Structure 1
Amino acid sequence: MVDNKKRNGKKPTVKKEQYAVVLDYLSRGYVKSDMSKFGGKPIAQAIGTEQFTLLELAPKNGVDLEIGDTVFIGQGKKDKIYRVLGRLNFERLTATSRIELDYTIRDIVESNEEKYVNFFNTTGAVSTRLHTLELIPGIGKKYMWDIINAREEKPFESFKDITERLPTLTDPAGMIVNRVKQELDRNAIKRGKSKYYIFTQVPKKPRNPR
């Protein structure tokens, strides 16, 4: 699915994050108190492993988190996290989180290689004029048809298989990473190809002031 808009009058099913990877851990909270209403308390900035949701997490008392920790945040007993405080806007990421973001997204993509290779194998058109493959940075009409023709001959089995059969696509995992980063940056102007959401949740619309 390219976006999370309503279809056939029904809301699409949105998978909740079950696990998140810690991007930064602030044992004394944010330095600037205006960054969050949770200032002064330990807080972690993290990214979900399912839909790359940026999150603020409150650890349990006595628990020290480390950058790169994978923590359970789903329903049920949590061993390290007290609660999920909410979604985190891209612009509120700390300098450390921004540095870790690229590496962490790539780790998630490569750890779920089958899922993202399947994207190259099965994804279809957004409209009569635009294919979902064209939403990936670095893929235009020519590469789109190269991928479609190759997968019709035989489905891709791995990122390595994609590169070996299509040498021009030297880093398919990196292409996914770049697309995810584009979608996470909510401040970027969303028009044309950038207005679609392939791998992340559509941001919630701000409430109209009463």
Structure 2
Amino acid sequence: MIKLPPLPYAYEALEPTVSATTMRTHHDKHHAKYVDVTNQLAVEKGLAGASLEEIIAQAEAQGERKLLNNAGQAWNHAFFWTCMSPQGGQPAGELARLAQEAFGGLDGLRARFVQVGADHFASGWVWLVVEDGRLAVVDTHDGETLAHKPQAPLLVCDLWEHAYYLDYKQDRKGFLERWFDNVANWSFVEAQLAAAQGRQAPWRFGLAA
């Protein structure tokens, strides 16, 4: 059985960028439901006791779409909580160098991240990844996850309406701009970059960052 991970900060810690009301609903209702359904389906498919990463890999290999969608959402949300911090911060060191190389600096990275997220049609996720040694911004639809893909995920923002609608209504771009500026966890991004470069272990579901 996988467990719903607690938030790494208080519900109100990300205010005013993300309200405590949004965080309570998002974590305690939406994320909890994905975890519950994943556990139910994993038992039915003989995967009880497997890690979430193993469940995702097996669900994809076996074409179990419902399990894959729920397990992917469980993984994505846990990663998303860790991608936010009340301290925010700025890219530094190797991360800043790669951002300069790929996007012309932090402003270019911000513009690309916000554009891809704002232009994404319907539900999904916008990611900063390492691909072939370079930074890139990609989007995924619905419950698709990068937990087991060649791109190494560094940062993600949730594009489903339940992530922002209570606070921003239909203004997804405004949400993405404030999210990137105020709560993106650059210390975590740097740790994920180190993992992508083989300097430490990557984040895994159920393990502290």
Q: Same fold per TM (> 0.5)?
A: no
TM-score in terms of structure 1 length: 0.30
Higher RCO (CA < 8 A, seq sep 6+): 2
Q: Which structure has more helix as a fraction of its residues?
A: 2
**Which one has the largest radius of gyration?**
1
TM-score for the superposition, normalised by structure 2 = 0.30
